[in-house]
Amino acid sequence: MQVVIFITFRYNRDDRRLSHMKFLYQTFTDYNLEEFTRFNMIVPLRISKYRPKILAVCYILMIFSGFLRVFTAPGTSAFTYLLVVFAIPLVLVYVSKRQCRRVYNANPQLQERHSVMRFYEDHLQETSNQQSVDVPYSSIAHLVETRTHFYLMTAANQGMIIIKNNCSAELIHFLQDLKQ
* Per-residue H/E/C for 135-158: EEHHHCCEEEECCCEEEEEEECCE
**How does pLDDT run across 24-52, given as a tens digit for each residue?**
999 999 988 998 999 988 887 777 676 77
Confidence of residue 10 (pLDDT cuts 50, 70, 90): very low
CB 59 within 8 A of CB 35: no
CA atoms lying within 13 Å on the CB side of residue 168: 10
Tell me if 83 sits within 8 A of 72, measured CB to CB: no
pLDDT at 48: 67
Closest CA to 85 of 72, 101, 100, 99: 72
Q: What is the CA radius of gyration of the chain?
A: 21
pLDDT tens column, 52-95: 777 787 788 778 777 777 777 676 666 776 777 778 778 888 99
Three-state secondary structure call for residue 21: coil
pTM over the 0.85 mark? no
Residue-level pLDDT at 47: 78
